[in-house]
Amino acid sequence: MLTIYTDESRLVGKEIKQRIDSLFNGRITESDIDNTAAQLIKRIDGSEYKNGVVKTSVGNTVLQNLSTGCKAAILIYKFPDEIFSTRECGNNAILEIIQLHEGNVLIYDKPFNEIDPMLPVDCIVKPRDGLNYTCTCWPELWRYWEGGWPEDGIPDKR
């Protein structure tokens, strides 16, 4: 399950991976790009990945030229036990990241979602209040970020 931290105070003593471009360029190679990573490239950057080549609307390029948000999503997917910051990510990448099934991510601001009002998520949110909240759809996540929690929301004190 994806774990979303909304405040660094819950991460004292833990390493938060930042400088996404450098991390990606040093850790991800063509052999790491499986079907899921290729789908992230398509959904976030609108590019096709095939045989080591990223095909964009303006020509071919390499993995190192993907957007920082796309790189972050792939790192979160490939290294689910590490905690990654989304400070450098665009909204479109964050909307894809919150749909990942595994990983740990620090998201500072609520993403804006005008694409799918029932965007599926399966995550635990760990805000500053010290509780853990399980979210299974966008409305639950949205209400949390708006300062409230749905009456049927279940705080989980794990």
pTM of this structure: 0.89
pLDDT of 130 over the 50 cut: yes
Residue with the larger pLDDT of the pair 54 and 146: 54
d(CA 33, CA 21): 16
Q: Both tokens of residue 121?
A: 């998520």
Contacts of 121 (CB under 8 A, 6+ apart): 2, 98, 99, 135, 136, 137, 138, 140, 141
Structural domain count, the chain: 1
* 92-126 tens-digit pLDDT: 999 999 999 999 999 988 888 887 888 889 998 88
d(CA 71, CA 89): 9
Q: Is the pLDDT of residue 78 over 80?
A: yes
2-37 per-position pLDDT tens digit: 999 988 988 999 999 999 999 999 999 999 999 999
> Tokens standing for 72?
């972050």
Number of neighbouring beta carbons within 10 Å of residue 131: 13
Question: Residue 56 burial (CB < 10 Å; 0-12/13-18/19+)?
Answer: middle
For residue 22, give its domain range.
2-156
Lookup result for tokens 């590019």 = 47
